[in-house]
Homo-oligomer: A and B are copies of this chain.
Amino acid sequence: MPAATVLIVDDEEQVRSAIDGLVRSAGYRSALYASAVDLLAKPLPAGVRCLVTDVRLPLVSGLDLQRELAKRGERIPILFITGHGDIPMSVRAMKAGAIDFLPKPFRDQDILDAIAGALAEDMRLKELEEELTSLRIRFESLTPREREVLEFVSRGLLNKQIAAELGLSEITVKIHRGSAMRKMEARTVVHLIRMMEALERGALQVQTPV
């Protein structure tokens, strides 16, 4: 497993290299960006990661960056730092899901603690996402009919009822249900229900951009 990566966005070279040194000394890898645009230009590094950014940046602010990443579906824990921030700014960032918001000057340990927390959070969510992705892949492999049948199954309908609902014979429903269970690798109905709930919840748990 590669080391965790800390993405650092700041328009001041001094700040970047200072945090860079701090982060490297803590054993993390780092990726430096002079602006939000730079960061958005290319795909983010893979693996466990978090983002440290100044709120006040030229052109595209840290908050704009947060919103843009959310819009792109890039889930990444964000840690804001700022020299001239105010309370409404911090509240807005936190509401949008920021991990922390540190006003300068801060102690080295403060930001390292926050980074450690952010990375731990990212790892936790990554595990959940992997689970969910695995589920989604399996769900995608279902035929439309199989998906339809599963929807009814997860609502607690009997095969007979599903058959009536879809205008099919009960046997056909059983067939679809059986092959769907195999494709989803669900041993029992209970297992299946949990999967379906995870799929539904996962789709809704997207971070709301503010």
- Where the two chains meet, the residues of A that have a C-beta atom closer than 8 Å to any C-beta of B are 82, 85-88, 90-91, 94-95, 100-101, 103, 153-156, 187-191, 193-194, 197
B103 touches A156 (CB 8 A): no
A156 touches B188 (CB 8 A): yes
Residues of B contacting A90 in the complex (Cβ-Cβ under 8 angstroms): 87, 90-91, 94
Docked complex Cα distance between A193 and B195 (Å): 12
16 contacts between A and B (CB under 8 A): A82-B87, A86-B87, A86-B103, A87-B101, A90-B90, A90-B94, A91-B101, A95-B100, A153-B190, A156-B187, A156-B190, A189-B189, A189-B190, A193-B194, A194-B197, A197-B197
With contacts A87-B103, A91-B101, A94-B91 known, is A156 near B191, CB below 8 A? yes
Residues of B contacting A87 in the complex (Cβ-Cβ under 8 angstroms): 82, 85-87, 90, 101, 103
A156 touches B189 (CB 8 A): yes
CB-based nearest B residue for A88? B103
Docked complex Cα distance between A86 and B102 (Å): 11
Residues of B contacting A100 in the complex (Cβ-Cβ under 8 angstroms): 91, 95
Residues of B contacting A188 in the complex (Cβ-Cβ under 8 angstroms): 156
With contacts A86-B103, A87-B86, A197-B197 known, is A190 near B154, CB below 8 A? yes
The list of the 4 closest CB pairs from A to B, nearest first, reads A156-B190, A156-B188, A94-B94, A87-B103
Docked complex Cα distance between A82 and B103 (Å): 18
Docked complex Cα distance between A94 and B85 (Å): 16
Residues of B contacting A88 in the complex (Cβ-Cβ under 8 angstroms): 103
Residues of B contacting A189 in the complex (Cβ-Cβ under 8 angstroms): 156, 189-190
